[in-house]
Structure 1
Amino acid sequence: MIVITTPTGRIGRQVLDALLDGEQPVRVIARDPSRLSARARERADVVPGSHGDRDVVMEAFAGADSVFWLVPPDSRTDSVEGHYLNWTRPACEAITRHGVKRVVAVSTLGTGIEKNAGHLTASVAKDELIKSTGVSFRALRAAAFMENLLGQVEAIRNQGTFFLPSVADRVLATIATRDIAATAARLLLDDSWSGQDGVPLVSPDRISPDDMARIMSEVLERPVRCQHVPLDAYKESALGHGASEAWAQGLVDMAAAQIDGAYDAEHHSAQPSPTGFRQWCEEVLRPAVLA
């Protein structure tokens, strides 16, 4: 039995789609089962509720061999690391209680991020908590999601601009969520691995935000530019959109770590994933902008 968390989320949905036609039975934890596809409701065992709830994960992990784990965001939290850890503790108890064999979790790329790197630090702390159970574990150490740009489709369409705190001419490691999901599905279906390790996930590109703007301009056939957002303005924007002080500061600390080169070492050494930024723009961004 494979258990999938966040089955209606951007990554979890793609993991689930990759597993539904396989021979392994699949169980999902869904806060709102009505958001699942008809195919998922027909073929997967559905446990309703939040995977941050102890009773829910205790029920869902019974008989599970493998678990896909992803902590959903909570921009209102008063502690970023506390959010990641509090959400994961009940799962760790259920992993131990039910003898789950393998866990695959979405984590983050980066070195030197064990402290003072906001959401990156919190994700590493979550990994360490899962590892403390002794379960065989793979952390999907993902670079910045290309899909984050989908939150700026209106600005790209109407203003020809997207906004990033990253320095415009500095290389930024990115990854398409389809490649995270494909790696997760492969590991969940493979019962031969053991031990605890990380899997760096980066695209084949070595491009800066300025390069991203050039590629977007070519694919969309309209001028697009990247507007650098100073970190103080980045924080004010997050606060203006309803984020807590802790969440907004976590975003700033994460961006500062990225700017300071947290991704660089693994970006150079990692085996690249298949999807390049141009392909992603053609297949994902362009349809979203033209919709």
Structure 2
Amino acid sequence: MTASSLFPYVIFGVTGRTGAAAADALLRSGHPVRVVVRAPVKGRPWAERGAEVAVADLTDLASMTKALSQVQGAYVVSPQQYNRDDLFERADLIADTTARAAVAADVPRLVALSSVGADRESGTGWIRMNRMFEQRLGETGVSTIFLRAAYFMENWMPMIGQAMRSGTLPTFLAPPQRPLPMVATVDVGSSAAALLQEKRTGTCIVTLSGPKDYAPNDVAAILSTTLQKPVDVAVLPETKWPEALADAHFSRTALAGFAEMTRGLNCSHIDIKSDPSAVEWAGTTTLERVIVELAQRQR
């Protein structure tokens, strides 16, 4: 056992899907893990599995530096708070604090969750927050892999619930027959864990999609087979988006960001292949598997 192997990998976002998957993958492989949470109670399940628990506020430099000290590497995320009108300013503060803490703690390598489209300067809505994250971390000189994930398969959960009740799958994505790259969050987390263990230096961009692309029509067909009943697709016009998203309690700024992002996806301005410098990775989890799991949770 080397001295470096005694230091843990630090994982942020373990109360979310990708962070939990990253921590789980590392723990299952026998690696030491430190999870970072906002409240001690959130860390208890991980402590029971043998992980260290660090409590930190993502906007507090001292607690972030302590959480990132004496580590092999860290998976960092910037949670986006869609109920806030200042969500872009908040995201920039988190990005700046994370960057400064990584430098202060002398972190040897980072894997940072980002998104396809982060290479675009404008017209990406919410994804601009990921671009801020990349820019702040990129200025530090810390070896960083930016993991640009495709559209999360789990984003379909609320629409699947509606389809199960009504037989119609609403979608913001159009046209419904056009396939888009999608990825399961478990593959994002497991890829982050694998990338943390690589010994490369410098900055690298990795795009991550699933084993194939899927269209909204494919989602409906898979769900129809799962439920054993017909499921139609209904493309929501942009005028209906605020009403459809009312239960999400988005701020006006967040709603505008969602609309711009969705328009960017629908016109292919946001494209997983738009950055020729990126290394392409693909997960193994199929949309069929994710939809079956999501449908079971809705029953």
TM-score (norm 2): 0.88
Deviation at 1:83, TM superposition (A): 2.5
User: Within the alignment, does 1:257 sit opposite 2:267 as a pair?
Assistant: no
Q: Which runs of 5+ in 2 are unaligned?
A: 1-7
Contact 2:9/2:74 (8 A) holds in 1: yes
Equivalent runs, 1:196-215 vs 2, <5 Å: 196-215=203-222
Aligned-partner Cα distance in 1 for 2:122–2:271: 17
User: Within the alignment, does 1:118 sit opposite 2:118 as a pair?
Assistant: no
Counterpart among 79, 95, 98 of residue 88 in structure 1:
95
In the alignment of these two chains, the number of paired residues is 288
Per the alignment, in what secondary structure is the counterpart of residue 13 of structure 2? coil
User: Within the alignment, does 1:46 sit opposite 2:56 as a pair?
Assistant: no
Aligned-partner Cα distance in 2 for 1:37–1:174: 32
* Paired amino acid for 1:275: T
TM-score (norm 1): 0.90
Counterpart among 273, 294, 298 of residue 285 in structure 1:
294
Deviation at 1:59, TM superposition (A): 1.4
Give me the CA root mean square deviation.
2.3
Contact 1:111/1:265 (8 A) holds in 2: no
Per the alignment, in what secondary structure is the counterpart of residue 113 of structure 1? coil
Aligned-partner Cα distance in 2 for 1:31–1:111: 27
User: Within the alignment, does 1:176 sit opposite 2:201 as a pair?
Assistant: no
Per the alignment, in what secondary structure is the counterpart of residue 206 of structure 2? strand
Deviation at 1:30, TM superposition (A): 1.0
Question: What is the CA deviation profile of residues 237-276 of structure 1, one whole-angstrom value per residue up to 9, with x for unaligned ones?
Answer: 4356421111110111110110111344529994432122
Contact 1:239/1:245 (8 A) holds in 2: no
Question: What is the CA deviation profile of residues 69-104 of structure 1, one whole-angstrom value per residue up to 9, with x for unaligned ones?
Answer: 111121122234323211121111111111111111
Of 118-127 and 17-26, more deviation after overlay is shown by: 17-26
Counterpart among 99, 102, 105 of residue 106 in structure 2:
99
Contact 1:160/1:224 (8 A) holds in 2: yes
Equivalent runs, 1:11-26 vs 2, <5 Å: 11-26=18-33
Contact 1:108/1:120 (8 A) holds in 2: yes
Per the alignment, in what secondary structure is the counterpart of residue 245 of structure 2? helix
Contact 1:27/1:44 (8 A) holds in 2: yes
Contact 1:7/1:16 (8 A) holds in 2: yes
Contact 1:80/1:250 (8 A) holds in 2: no
Partner of 2:4: none
Deviation at 1:110, TM superposition (A): 2.8
Per the alignment, in what secondary structure is the counterpart of residue 43 of structure 1? coil
Equivalent runs, 1:139-178 vs 2, <5 Å: 139-167=146-174, 168-178=176-186
